[in-house]
């Protein structure tokens, strides 16, 4: 199998090599709160494949060339690093960091009763801390992270190198797969990244939650 990598074609698709393609579906409570990711089946895509970035393909999640027909503008505007953008939320024995610019509104960070931002203030309580850390670990974009006091790096869940299709949502890239931008530079390499596949993000190639605003639909 080829070395895992993704390159972005100018105004075109994601060109994927050596990365397993799967489906991941959020599991909800009776109140509609996402609490876990259900592992869907692997998708038979081969070792090299192209994933739609414009949202107009008739063969989603794969590219069918429609980006040229719809005159897709894939200009990438995402800039900076997570360290530069994130703000710190001190908690008991740890620091939570939050980067709103890459939030995809997946909803794992809150319930009808509370949310991560409220919980930081009561994180000395064991059950509150456990729930808060679980919420952060399930954040697909890595917009929320945490590190324990004295640690040099964020504490990250152990995730495989794969790209997952989220129904009606972004591509959920895990495991630090390298992504090369259209200008040849490297996208910041992280354990959790969400890539836009609706074509509407204002923070390309990263998802910014626009798929919900424009009613993007694709369930594999």
Q: Which residues contact 127 (CB under 8 A, 6 or more apart)?
A: none
The helix, strand and coil proportions of the chain, stated in percent and rounded to the nearest 5, come to 15, 30, 55
Residue 220: what pLDDT?
85
Whats the size of the chain, residue-wise? 220
In whole angstroms, give the CA distance from residue 119 to residue 112. 13
Residue 69: what pLDDT?
97
CB atoms near residue 37 (< 10 Å): 17
List the chain residues with pLDDT less than 70: none
Q: Are 177 and 6 in contact (CB under 8 A)?
A: yes
**Separation of CA 52 from chain center:** 16
Residue 166: what pLDDT?
97
The residue to which tokens 């190639």 are assigned: 205
Q: Among positive and negative, which fits the CA dihedral 188, 117, 154, 158?
A: negative
Q: Are 209 and 200 in contact (CB under 8 A)?
A: no
The residue to which tokens 């710190």 are assigned: 88
Question: Model-level pTM?
Answer: 0.95
Q: Tens digits of per-residue pLDDT, 179-210?
A: 999 999 999 999 999 999 999 999 999 999 99
CB atoms near residue 125 (< 10 Å): 12
Residue 168: what pLDDT?
97
């Amino acid at each position: 199998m080829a070395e895992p990598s993704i390159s972005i074609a100018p105004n075109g698709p994601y060109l994927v090599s050596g990365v397993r393609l799967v489906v991941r579906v959020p599991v909800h409570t009776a109140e509609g709160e996402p609490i876990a990711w259900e592992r869907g089946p692997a998708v038979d895509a081969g070792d090299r494949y192209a994933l739609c970035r414009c949202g107009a393909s008739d063969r989603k999640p794969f590219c069918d060339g429609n980006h040229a027909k719809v005159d897709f503008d894939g200009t990438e505007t995402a800039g900076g690093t997570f360290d530069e953008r994130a703000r710190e939320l001190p908690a008991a024995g740890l620091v939570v960091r939050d980067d709103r610019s890459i939030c995809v509104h997946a909803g794992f960070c809150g319930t009808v009763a509370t949310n991560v931002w409220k919980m930081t203030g009561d994180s000395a309580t064991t059950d509150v801390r456990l729930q808060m850390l679980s919420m952060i670990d399930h954040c697909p974009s890595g917009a929320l992270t945490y590190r324990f006091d004295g640690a040099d790096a964020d504490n990250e869940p152990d995730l495989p190198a794969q790209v997952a299709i989220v129904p009606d949502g972004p591509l959920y890239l895990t495991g630090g797969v390298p992504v090369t931008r259209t200008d040849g530079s490297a996208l910041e390499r992280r354990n959790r990244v969400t890539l836009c596949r609706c074509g509407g993000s204002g923070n390309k190639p990263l998802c910014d939650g626009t798929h919900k605003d424009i009613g993007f639909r694709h369930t594999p």
